Amino acid sequence: MKFVDEFRDPEMAKNALDRIHALVKEIPKAQQQPLQIMEVCGGHTHSIFRYGLEELLPKEIELVHGPGCPVCVLPMGRVDDCVAIAEQPDVIFTTFGDAMRVPGSKKSLQDAKAAGCDVRMVYSPMDALNIARQHPDKRVVFFGLGFETTMPSTALTIKQAEKEGIENFYLFCNHVTIIPTIKAILDSPDMYIDGFLGPGHVSMVIGEAPYRFIAASYQRPLIIAGFEPLDVLQSLVMLLEQLRDGKAEIENQYKRIVPDGGNHAALKAVGEIFELREFFEWRGLGSIDHSGVQIKAAYARFDAEREFALPNVNIADPKSCQCGEVLKGVIKPWQCKVFGKQCTPETPLGALMVSTEGACSAYYSYGKINHQQLDR
């Protein structure tokens, strides 16, 4: 295939769906209860809702929307830290756009900007570094956010800042890692997952090997999946074939993008700049050991957590917001008490409604919502 429309071909999608419907009939467990299949990445969740794939799947499959949206798992306390930095009079705070409206305990970065703070949206950490070059009298802070997908660009930006001797550039590091998160899900007593659709973009960096423990230690299959409709459907076919045959292996459906060994240059840059934290707090999932990274001591002069006095307080989500249950797949977005009522994309209470990759936002935008049921 060469063009994107080929990955959305209706006839090929129908063939894949026919195959999926046939496969579930060959899996004994699926006749007793739905198979729980988690798509880890928020990009998959978005595609599934956008193209209506969930409605086309047999009732024997239940998709569970995982925590693979880095904006969605950002705890309120870290947002409060961002605001505290942005409120310093000599600071230009830079961030990706989808983090602007994530609610903290009192305000978001967008609220801070409206109150007069110099908060700017950027498309890359290099944009933030360029702002630091243009404003040597200001302390410019980049809000580093994302899984292994975005870590390399942040690491390379730090290396460039060091090379140029730029002294007014800082990173507020909130990068997180996917593997400890999946392990926490597998160890959770609240849920049982039969198989995973693995994140394509993360895998482009880390490759296939880090997932092997899922098959070896937990006997669950994982398919590294692309993001177009046919990618998702083909990955489900591959996953169901394993479940039918009693296998648990790691397979790579997204071979056109994901090399088995990952991106060695990207991993090298990440290894030079970052090291694992002892633990990191996740919204809805709690503290997960070794699930985040921090700047190594050799590059400490770029670390915003060392430069600024931060509140660094753990703050619970509003009791009315059930983002945690949605993140863990315990409930669907529409089952949250405030979904579509107090919590909408215009007035989000939880992070899952803010990001375009959040399950609540995707379901609100593309799902068939029964507004009469929500009004009850």
CA angle 191-277-211, nearest 5°? Answer: 45
Distances (CA, A) of 170 to 5, 64, 98, 128, 139: 42, 37, 20, 9, 7
CA angle 91-92-95, nearest 5°? Answer: 130
Residue 115 near residue 367, CB atoms below 8 Å: no
Strands (E) in the chain, as ranges, are: 35-41, 61-68, 91-95, 119-121, 139-146, 169-175, 195-198, 222-224, 250-252, 274-276, 279-282, 286-289, 293-295
Place of tokens 């039969």: 194
Strand partners, 68: 41
Sign of CA dihedral 16, 19, 25, 28: negative
pLDDT on residue 193:
92
Place of tokens 């973009």: 201
Per-residue pLDDT of the chain (376 residues; tens, 9 = 90+): 667 778 889 999 999 999 999 999 999 999 999 999 999 988 898 899 889 999 999 999 999 888 777 777 788 899 999 999 999 999 999 999 989 988 888 899 999 999 999 999 999 999 999 999 999 999 999 999 999 999 999 999 999 999 999 999 999 999 999 999 899 889 888 778 999 999 999 999 999 999 999 999 999 999 999 999 999 999 999 999 999 999 999 999 999 999 989 999 999 999 999 999 998 988 777 888 999 999 999 999 999 999 999 988 777 767 777 877 787 667 888 888 899 888 888 777 776 887 767 788 888 888 766 544 455 4
Task: At 191, list the tokens.
Answer: 């849920």
List b or e across 168-193, with b for residues whose CB sees 16 or more CB atoms inside 10 angstroms: bbbbbbbbbbbbbbbbbbbeeeeeeb
Task: At 326, list the tokens.
Answer: 């949605």
pLDDT on residue 114:
97
Place of tokens 């006095």: 309
List of residues 6+ apart from 271 with CB closer than 8 A: none
β-pairing, 195-198 vs 293-295, is unpaired
Instruction: Write down all domains in the chain, each with its CATH number in brackets.
Output: 4-69+184-251 (3.40.50.11750), 76-177+262-307 (3.40.50.11740), 323-374 (no CATH)
Quick: pLDDT tens for 89-107.
999 999 999 899 888 888 9
Place of tokens 């392990």: 183
